[in-house]
Amino acid sequence: VANRMSDPPQEVVTLAGKYCESGDVLIHDIELPVLETGDIIAIPASGAYVPSMASNYNLNPRPAIVMVSDGSARLIRRRESYADLMAMDVM
């Protein structure tokens, strides 16, 4: 949990992605603090969730990309909107 790195683990969880697929599991059996709304989960190797592999499968917009360096964060790609997803449709 990137925003609470000093919090001790309290439970063993499996982190799954947002796609409705049985294989969309990011990590099995990881010890984490109890997660709260707004927590930031940092996953350095995230397969199809990286920009080069990202898709709009199931009409899911791609997430924003934030670059973190020397203790500061900067938005380098905005989150896709549903308007972005529909922009190429002509009907």
What's the mean pLDDT in 11-31? 89
Residue 13's H or E segment, with its range, is strand 11-16
Question: Percentage helix, strand, coil, to 5, in the chain?
Answer: 15, 25, 55
Q: What's the sign of the alpha-carbon dihedral 22, 23, 26, 31?
A: positive
The stretches of 1-91 forming alpha helices (DSSP H) are 82-86
**pLDDT score at 89:** 92
Annotated active-site positions, please? 20
Which residue would you say has higher pLDDT here, 36 or 55?
36
pTM, entire model: 0.64
The class (CATH top level) of 2-86 is: mainly beta
